[in-house]
């Protein structure tokens, strides 16, 4: 079991119902954490984050573990450990 802090911004915060969550889970990877969050908060979480065909993170979405983009770690197979902070960002735009 690991205790992780999950933070969601914008649409992810809406799905989770709050900005920060402290979760105790058996999830050992980011993908398993996403599966846990999908079970707990519904398919709208996964559909906002993942490409339904490939299962990969949708282009423009960002997932950080302890401030590091999972694109530069092991992607969705990035291992989680007790005390990690996982942040979900939707695509942003502006000028």
Topology adopted by domain 2-89: Ubiquitin-like (UB roll) (3.10.20)
C-alpha 8/C-alpha 15 separation (Å) is: 9
Q: Tell me: the pLDDT tens digits for 5-19?
A: 999 999 899 999 988
Q: Tell me: the pLDDT tens digits for 19-75?
A: 899 999 999 999 999 999 999 998 999 999 999 999 999 999 999 999 999 999 999
Cβ(35)–Cβ(80) below 8 Å: no
Count Cβ atoms within 10 A of the Cβ of residue 2 and give its class: 0-12 exposed, 13-18 middle, 19 or more buried.
Answer: middle
> Helix or strand or coil: residue 83?
coil
Residue boundaries of the structural domains of the chain = 2-89
Tell me which DSSP letter residue 70 carries: G
Cβ(88)–Cβ(49) below 8 Å: yes
Question: What is the pTM assigned to this prediction?
Answer: 0.92
Cβ(38)–Cβ(16) below 8 Å: no
């Amino acid at each position: 079991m690991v205790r992780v802090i999950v933070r969601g911004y914008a649409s992810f915060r809406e799905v989770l119902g709050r900005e920060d969550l402290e979760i105790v889970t058996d999830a050992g990877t980011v993908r398993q954490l996403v599966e846990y969050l999908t079970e707990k908060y519904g398919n709208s979480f996964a559909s906002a984050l993942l490409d339904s065909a490939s299962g990969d993170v949708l282009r423009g979405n960002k997932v950080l573990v302890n401030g590091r983009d999972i694109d530069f770690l092991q992607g969705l197979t990035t291992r989680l450990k007790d005390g990690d902070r996982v942040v979900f960002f939707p695509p942003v735009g502006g000028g």
